[in-house]
Structure 1
Amino acid sequence: MTREVADIIAGLGTGIHIDGRWRTATSGATFSVENPATGETIATLADGGHDDAVAAIDTAAAHQRDWAAVPARERSEILRRAYELLIERTDEVALLMTTEMGKPLEQARGEVAYGAEFFRWFGEEAVRIRGDARRSPDGKTRFVVTQEPVGPCILITPWNFPLAMITRKIGPAIAAGCTMVYKPAALTPLTSLYVTDLLVEAGLPAGVLSVVSTSSAGSVVEPWIDSGKARKLSFTGSTAVGKLLLEQCARGVLRTSMELGGNAPFIVCEDADLDVALDAVMAAKMRNMGEACTAANRILVHRSVIDDFAQRLADRMQSLTVGDGAVAGTDVGPLVEAKAVDKVQALVGDAVERGAQVVCGGQRSDGPGHFYPPTVLTSVSADADLMRTEIFGPVAALVPFDSDDDAVALANDTEFGLVSYVMTESVNRGFRIAEQLEAGMVGFNTGLVSNPAAPFGGVKQSGLGREGGLTGIDEFLETKYVAIPVR
């Protein structure tokens, strides 16, 4: 670990932040955070538990009324200052993120720009919360409709985008006037701690945001859900965990936002510009080493062009440099942990046993760190496990199709529906296919759909609700209607 990284980490809080103070865990327990490129322990944090969770939700409830009364312009300015601070410190935040998560520095800088934009976007939305005033159709009643903060919110994020996943939850919660309790991912909590301090510096009052890092999610989240004080839960993570949280939230009828798993199809029609399609698939597949819910999982290519496409894709994949993300020139960093590499290798092995051909890659790397080489598979069987399971690694699985109807049927043959991609030079064809795809988002001749100004979310078992865009703040607001008789 370099001196620069050590100094950044030394300046972070302990892992538990409640009512404006960093503190140790009530139990005294700690857990370690490692660099996935080296296996080195880079930080030891307070390991929060039940008592810390109770203190955090009590704090959020105690501050909710006062925070909701803060003028929208003031909340907006806090978010604007936080945006400016993140942009100003891009290199420092990116280096911290790369060290705890593994992504190449250039991608980490891109995440800072993307994640910071949620603060700017929702800072602008804070002063545009809408209402309505009109008379009833019979003329006897005045309707006054207002939007009010939903109340204390539980925020839970995954490890793969340590900055963006939390700014797109914190941003609208602050804008709406909600207090928050937040559990970052145990694998990558350090960036979250940095953002917490930055928000305090930007002027966020004590008690509005409490953070409890923990190695035992249930010991923290379940007390929050059952407290009777939380009114909403926003979760990004696996569908399996999301279903469990939905069951728990039903006990208290909590509002929920769920951004869950994906199994994104990437359709390449025979009339596609293959150069455009290759650029798009590299963005959709290899962003974050494939550790993204929006990653292209099943690459469906028209039979007439699949051989050419496969070879050109393999050439692009083999040209990538694999290594420590903090080293200049690295294109592909490590996966987040050893279990992630085990999963990818098992999925590739299963596909090969079922007849898939390895064009490049296909075997885990030796030595320290959790690396897996960029891999291209062709002739992937429909019954291969990776056709049903998020790969979350740098593996491109190619499947041929013969007609648009075949492609749509293959694309929709999944319980997930987060994002789909379609490559074609025909606008009419692209729209026709997009309209048939069962997904919350569609990339048309692009492999990048995420944008703070657009609604992010899926259908089927990929989740509930939307983050970002004009609807993102609505997830943190309740509608109140006041009836006033006309005298």
Structure 2
Amino acid sequence: MDKSYARLGLYIDGAWRDAATSAPIIDPATGEEIGRVPHASVADLDAALAAAQRGFDAWSAMGVDRRTPILKKAVSLLRDRAETIGAIMSREQGKPTAEGTAEVLRSAALLEWDIEEGRRLYGRIIPGAAGMANSVVRLPIGPVAAFTPWNFPASIPARKLGALAAGCSVILKAAEETPGTACEMVRCFEEAGLPAGALNLVFGNPAQISAYLIASPVIRMVTLTGSVPVGKLVAAQAAAEMKPAVMELGGHAPVIVCADAAPETVARAAVMAKFRNAGQICTCPTRFFVHRSLYERFLSTFADGARSLRVGPGSDPQSQMGPLATERRVEAVDSLIADAIGRGARLVAGGTRRKGPGYYYEPTILADVPPGSRALHEEPFGPIALVLAFDELEEAIAAANAVPYALASYAFTDSARNIDLLTRTLDAGLLSVNHFGASQPEGPFGGVKDSGLGQEGGIEGLHAFTTLKYIQLKTAA
């Protein structure tokens, strides 16, 4: 156990506590245990639920004028500690420390936008009959159960913690693989003066905790980022309790490179976009549909860039891609690549696990991938890029739409006709044209089809943590 790694614990009712049981935390760069994550008991969950109710009563009653300075202080602390938290994130998740630091700073930006917009959760006045005053007010929905994964252990919780800006309390069930990041984030809110119970942090068996929290009458809203199967299960549990839910689930993002694009420029940009966080990103560009006239030029530049990436431990400033987060991710990536090659795909770069300790996998590019390949239909969630040629844009759009995922999408073209066609017919919650950016704090973030339900980010995301009340006041006899 590495004592320099992070201080871990459950955070319930404004206090840190240990747990009777725990599980190992593995450094993906070495495969060695660096700590143990505490697992909440039923008694711990009951305490968190009771605290969340008390915390909501106190926090929502404070009013936006008193809540805002506390939340801004927490954001300031996050920024001050970005490098420290980024290093912790690198140890437990694998990404380069610089990426971890940048993620913490992005988390601060996400929270800051919600905090500012929380001051503008406006209702409206509705004209009515004489003697009647009709209005709509927007109120915090209540205690929120938030479930987050390991791939972005700071920025994804930050989206959920926007609920605090709406006046809600939160029980955060963060990922067991990356507890140190979550604990350090919660400490920022604790030290900023957040009232006891407004934010609670638990870890443990995901299925048991989600079922227990969602079934509790204390919880009034559910938000989850995770896989499609888990999201469907949690959404069904929430629906059974008539509780609203926001589900941000998997993706298998297409990239359509039209005939008027600059193939080498797009390919060079694609290298860092594809292999950032070792491809473990729900918005990660994965299926590259390239116009046949540009195909070989794009593929050559893309492959050269992938082969030149420096793969190593996140603690090494020279590393451009770290290890995969877990052994099971390595096995899953290996299986998808073997299946595609077995069906006739052409291996252009990578394709092997690096020898030695840790969960390293070479950045991999497969060309001419046959339609039946699993990698074309299952989210790879790893450093795999699939490249295919097309002749007509409609053909590329049809292929892009031929999966149940519809989260992020990317296109490169200067043609107004192409942009119009892509906007109208490409299945996706997000479309980025001529760049690989997928989201920003001001805009809504969410998918359609199997990729999700509802929106995070933007005013739509903040509204998800509120409920409407229509008031009809008779002012005259």
For the aligned pair, the TM-score class normalised by the smaller chain equals over 0.9
Deviation at 1:109, TM superposition (A): 1.9
Instruction: State how 1:253-292 maps to structure 2 within 5 Å.
Output: 253-292=242-281
Note if contact 1:283-1:448 (Cα within 8 Å) is conserved in structure 2: no
Note if contact 1:50-1:219 (Cα within 8 Å) is conserved in structure 2: no
Superposed CA RMSD in Å reads 1.4
Instruction: State how 1:27-176 maps to structure 2 within 5 Å.
Output: 28-136=20-128, 138-139=129-130, 141-170=132-161, 172-176=162-166
Q: Secondary structure at the match of 1:478?
A: strand
Q: Secondary structure at the match of 1:316?
A: helix
Deviation at 1:486, TM superposition (A): 4.2
Deviation at 1:279, TM superposition (A): 3.8
Cα 1:431–1:84, aligned 2, differ >3 Å: closer, same or farther?
A: farther
Note if contact 1:54-1:223 (Cα within 8 Å) is conserved in structure 2: no
Q: Secondary structure at the match of 2:351?
A: coil
- 1:7 counterpart (4, 7, 19): 4
Q: Calculate the TM-score normalised by the size of structure 1.
A: 0.95
Distance 1:427 1:98 in 2: 42
Distance 2:329 2:371 in 1: 23
Deviation at 1:448, TM superposition (A): 1.4
Give the fraction of aligned pairs with identical amino acids, expressed as a percent.
Answer: 37
Q: Calculate the TM-score normalised by the size of structure 2.
A: 0.97
- 1:431 counterpart (404, 411, 420): 420
Deviation at 1:444, TM superposition (A): 0.4
Residue 365 (structure 1) aligned with residue 357 (structure 2): no
Distance 2:59 2:345 in 1: 57
Give 5+ residue unaligned stretches, structure 1: none
More displaced 10-residue stretch of structure 1: 340-349 or 432-441: 432-441
Distance 1:458 1:36 in 2: 29
Residue 206 (structure 1) aligned with residue 196 (structure 2): yes
Residue 479 (structure 1) aligned with residue 473 (structure 2): no
* 1:1-24 CA-partner distances (Å, limit 9, x unpaired): 9xxx84351xx242x111111112
Note if contact 2:5-2:91 (Cα within 8 Å) is conserved in structure 1: no
Note if contact 1:256-1:464 (Cα within 8 Å) is conserved in structure 2: yes
Distance 1:98 1:338 in 2: 16
* 1:391-433 CA-partner distances (Å, limit 9, x unpaired): 1111111011110100110111111110111011224422331
- 2:328 counterpart (316, 324, 339): 339
Q: Secondary structure at the match of 1:451?
A: coil
Note if contact 1:266-1:422 (Cα within 8 Å) is conserved in structure 2: yes
Give 5+ residue unaligned stretches, structure 2: none
State the partner residue of 1:234: 223
State the partner residue of 1:411: 400
Deviation at 1:141, TM superposition (A): 2.9
Amino acid aligned to 1:121: W
Amino acid aligned to 1:165: I
Amino acid aligned to 1:223: Y
* 1:127-171 CA-partner distances (Å, limit 9, x unpaired): 1110112322x445321110101001000001000000101110x
Distance 1:206 1:442 in 2: 41
Amino acid aligned to 1:329: Q
Deviation at 1:268, TM superposition (A): 0.7
- 1:329 counterpart (315, 318, 321): 318
Note if contact 2:143-2:171 (Cα within 8 Å) is conserved in structure 1: yes
Note if contact 2:55-2:198 (Cα within 8 Å) is conserved in structure 1: yes
- 1:19 counterpart (8, 13, 16): 13
Note if contact 2:86-2:97 (Cα within 8 Å) is conserved in structure 1: yes
Amino acid aligned to 1:335: L
Deviation at 1:367, TM superposition (A): 1.0
Amino acid aligned to 1:149: P
Deviation at 1:457, TM superposition (A): 0.6
Distance 1:401 1:414 in 2: 17
Q: Secondary structure at the match of 1:450?
A: coil
Q: Secondary structure at the match of 1:41?
A: strand
Note if contact 1:273-1:425 (Cα within 8 Å) is conserved in structure 2: no
Q: Secondary structure at the match of 2:464?
A: helix
Q: Secondary structure at the match of 1:305?
A: helix
Distance 1:256 1:54 in 2: 21
Amino acid aligned to 2:52: A
* 1:228-259 CA-partner distances (Å, limit 9, x unpaired): 11000000000100110111112211110000
Distance 1:212 1:272 in 2: 48
State the partner residue of 1:196: 186
Distance 1:109 1:180 in 2: 24
Note if contact 1:76-1:122 (Cα within 8 Å) is conserved in structure 2: no
Aligned residues: 476
State the partner residue of 2:372: 383
Distance 2:217 2:394 in 1: 49
Instruction: State how 1:311-330 maps to structure 2 within 5 Å.
Output: 311-330=300-319
Deviation at 1:456, TM superposition (A): 0.7
Distance 2:367 2:408 in 1: 22
Note if contact 2:55-2:199 (Cα within 8 Å) is conserved in structure 1: no
Amino acid aligned to 1:163: A
State the partner residue of 1:250: 239
More displaced 10-residue stretch of structure 1: 28-37 or 73-82: 73-82
Cα 1:277–1:427, aligned 2, differ >3 Å: closer, same or farther?
A: farther
